[in-house]
Amino acid sequence: MQARPEAATPTAIAAVFDVDRTLVPGTTTERMFIRYLFRQRVLGLGTLLRTGLYLARRLPRMSPMAAIRARRVYLAGQPSGPIKALAARCYQDEIRAIVSAAGRAAVREHQEQGHLTVLLSGSLDFLLEHLQRDLGADHLIATHMAERGGRFTGRIAGPWPYGPTKALLIHHFAQQHGVSFQASYAYADHHSDEQVLALFGNPVVINPRPKMQQIAAGRQWPTREFR
């Protein structure tokens, strides 16, 4: 009877970076994009009313976060091509300038060591692909929006990278790319990222707020400021 070959030991080293309030301190990229769309008069009062009605119908059955996770009402019916073009402009006009210098340096340090660099975020992939190119990151795992007939439906296509799902996605990525969790690094700011950080041998808590600071202290995780 022939013996089965042993599975190869994962050897790749990755550095996984959260984006919102980590590489982009103080805010979220999607919030900046929504405000940009209002200023460009793409969104208006009708958007606020539709969002309010949507949440009112669902709040008895689910939390606001779960409702938002299920559907991005502000994108529903919008032509995907022009919206993606505006995402590129928003990144160049507003987001790029506030990307953390320390965060950029951390990404660069890992690249110089030959590590895989990964952006992992619940924000929009067509917005963050510009950050990925700017940083030269190898991979982007983010929220992908469904389209039909050249327009966004408002629904998320595939899993939403948030909380436990974020950890599952990066675990699947590690299996695909032969990543050693023990040798790899993760950078994140929020308590919802605890399960992601706990996978890695080198977790780093960035810009922690009180709840995350408490978790970091309890787990003896190092903290850093990305400003």
For 178, the domain range is 14-224
Residue from 41, 42, 59 nearest 51 by CA: 59
**pLDDT value at position 103?**
98
Considering just the CA atoms, what is the radius of gyration of the chain in Å?
A: 19
Rounded CA-CA distance 198/186 in Å is: 9
**Token match 């928003």: residue?**
90
In a domain, 2, yes or no: no
Alpha carbon distance 145, 211 (integer Å) = 31
- C-alpha of 4 from chain center: 39
Asked if 18 contacts 188 with a C-beta cutoff of 8 angstroms, the reply is yes
Residue 33: C-alpha distances to residues 25, 135, 152, 171 (Å): 15, 19, 16, 29
**Residue 84 within a domain:** yes
Question: Is residue 102 assigned to a domain?
Answer: yes
Number of structural domains found in the chain = 1
CB 198 within 8 A of CB 166: no
Is 180 among the domain residues? Answer: yes
CB 79 within 8 A of CB 150: yes
- pLDDT tens for the chain, 227 residues: list them: 444 444 568 899 999 999 999 999 999 999 999 999 999 999 988 887 887 787 677 776 666 666 666 689 999 999 999 999 999 999 999 999 999 999 999 999 999 999 999 999 999 999 999 999 999 999 999 999 999 999 999 999 999 999 999 999 999 999 999 999 999 999 999 999 999 999 999 999 999 999 999 999 999 999 999 99
Which pLDDT does position 67 carry in this prediction?
A: 67
Is 142 a domain residue?
Answer: yes
Strand pairing category for 151-156 and 145-148: antiparallel
pLDDT confidence of residue 25? 97
Whether residue 185 lies inside any domain: the answer is yes
8 domain residue, yes or no: no
Instruction: Look up the CATH number of the domain holding residue 193.
Output: 3.40.50.1000
Would you say the pTM of this structure is higher than 0.95? no
- Provide the β-strand partners of residue 215: none
| 181 in any annotated domain | yes
